[in-house]
Amino acid sequence: MTQRTFPRSFVWGAATSSYQIEGGWNADGRGESIWDRFSHTPGKIEDGSTGDVACDHYHRWREDVALMQELGLQAYRFSIAWPRILPEGCGQVNQAGLDFYKRLVDALLEAGITPVVTLYHWDLPQTLEDAGGWPARSVAEIFVEYADLVSRELGDRVKHWITHNEPWVMAFLGYEKGSKAPGITDMAAALVASHHLLLAHGWAVPVLRQNSPGAEVGITVNLSPTDPASPSQYDADAARHFDGYMNRWFLDPLYGRGYPADMIADYQQDGYLPAEGMPFVQQGDLDVIATPTDFLGVNYYSRAVLRSDRVPEATNEPRTIPESDPAQQTDMGWEVYAPGLYNLLMRLHTDYQINKLYITENGASYSDGPNEKGVVRDMRRLHFLYDHFTAAHRAISAGVPLAGYFVWSLFDNFEWEQGYAQRFGIVWVDYTTQQRIPKESARWYSRVIASNAVSAELPTL
C-alpha cells in the first residue's frame, strides 16, 4: 500500500495539561489555582466535577510514562502547575512540587521521550488572581520570575519550552466570556489581559534561552481559519472581525506587526478601548512581544464559519457554506474539517513566514468506551486523526516547515467547564478505578509513529 512518509526528523507526540490530569490538588504543599476556585464554585462545571483527582497522574506518573513508552511516543507535551511550584504565585518555593517535575522529566528522558514543557496552561495561582490577575501588569512580571525559577531547575534537561498555551482562551474565555476561570465578564479587562499574556511571553523568551542553553522556545496559540458563510459583504466583515479577534490579535504582534488597526478601531467603536487606543501598551512592549522565537505551536480543532448578525437574515445573501452537519461534528459540537488545518498551515507559512511550526494540539472528543472485551473501537477518532495527519502531510509537501505533531490528548481528562463529559483521550481512563486502556486510535497511532507515515487510503481495523 502506498504510504505518505513524513520528514525523517518529524516528531510524534501527545499532549496533556497539569490541571486536567494531575489531581493531587492540595498534595505536598501545592497552592490553590484559579481552576480549583472555579471548579469548587457550584454551577461552574457542567457535571459538577472538579480536577481534585482527575487522572491522578500526580501519583501515577510512573505507570503513565511506561504507557507512553509502550505506545512509542517520541515526545510528551505537558504543563507545569505554577501553584505546585510557587503556592503563593511568587516567593516561597515548594520543593516537593519541583521534585515532582524533576522526577517526571528524568523518567521521560530515561524512556527516550522528549519532554516539551508548557509553563502556563491556565492554572494561575489564586493569590495572583486576587492581586488583579492577567489584567494587572505585575502578574506578567511575576510570570517571568516563575519562568526563571523553573528553567533554572529544569533547563539542563528540558530543551523545548512553551511559554503560554492559548492566550486567546485565557484572555477571552477567562475574562470576557467568563466560561473559564477566573470567570470574569469584562471585555475591556480581557483586552488588557491579552496584552499582558503576550508581554509575559516576550519577557520570558530570553530568560528561558539563558537558563536552558540550546533550547527551542516558543508559544502555543489556538487558531481557526475563518470562512464567511456567503460571499456577502456582511459575512466577509464578520469573518474579518472574527479572524482579527482570534488569530491576528495574537499573530500580528508576535510577528512584529503590532496589534491590527482594524481591530483597534472595532474595539474603540464598541467602547472596549478608549479613543487614544491602548494606553496599557507601554513604550517598548511591542518589541518585547515580537522577540524572535524558535517555533510557533499551533492548536487546531476546527474552522469558524461566520454569518453576520448585523443584518436580518433576509437582507443577507443565502449561505453558500451550509450549517455544519451534526454527523460531521465531534461530541464538542465542533465541525470535523481537516482541510482547515492545511489552509491554516499554508496561511501561516505565506503570511507570516514562520520558521518552524509544531501542531501542539489536535484531536477529537468522542465518547466511545470499552466493549464487552474491554476494547475501545474509537474509529471516528482514528479517522479524524488520519484525515488531519494527511492534511499536515500535504502542507509539508507544499513547503510548510512543520516539525512535529502532538495529539490532544494522551488521556481522557478534565475538560474544563465540561468536566469529565468530554473524552479527548487516545487512552481511555476509568475514573473509578483509574485504569488506563489504550483505545484503537492509540494502537493505530503507535504504528504511524513506528513507520513515520500514514497510508494513502483510509485505514480499517
The residue ranges that bind ligand FCB (CB under 6 A) are 17, 20, 165-166, 169, 222, 299, 361, 408, 415-416, 424
- Minimum CB distance to ligand FCB, residue 226 (Å): 17
80-91 burial: b if 16+ Cβ within 10 Å, else e: bbbbbbbbebbe
User: Residue 269 CB, nearest distance to ligand FCB (Å)?
Assistant: 29
Q: How far is the CB of 415 from ligand FCB (least distance, A)?
A: 6
Annotated catalytic residue within 22, 129, 361, 415 = 361
Dist CA 234 CA 239 (whole Å): 9
- Closest to ligand FCB by CB, 251 or 273: 251
Q: How far is the CB of 168 from ligand FCB (least distance, A)?
A: 9
How far apart are alpha carbons 25 and 411 in whole angstroms? 18
What's the min distance (Å) between Cβ of 242 and ligand FCB?
16
Q: Are 351 and 401 in contact (CB under 8 A)?
A: no
| Residue with Cβ nearer ligand FCB (94 or 362) | 362
- Residue 20 or 163 having the CB closest to ligand FCB: 20
Q: Minimum Å distance from CB 62 to ligand FCB?
A: 23
Choose, from 166, 176, 216, 335, the residue flagged as catalytic: 166
Question: Between residues 234 and 295, which has the closer beta carbon with respect to ligand FCB?
Answer: 295
Q: Give least dist CB 220 to ligand FCB, A.
A: 8
Active site (annotated) includes residue 166: yes
Q: Which is nearer to ligand FCB, 170 or 288 (CB)?
A: 170
Instruction: Give yes or no for a cis peptide into 182 (omega within 30° of 0).
Output: yes
Q: Which is nearer to ligand FCB, 175 or 416 (CB)?
A: 416
Pick between residue 19 and residue 203 the one whose CB is nearest to ligand FCB: 19
Q: What positions carry a catalytic annotation?
A: 166, 361
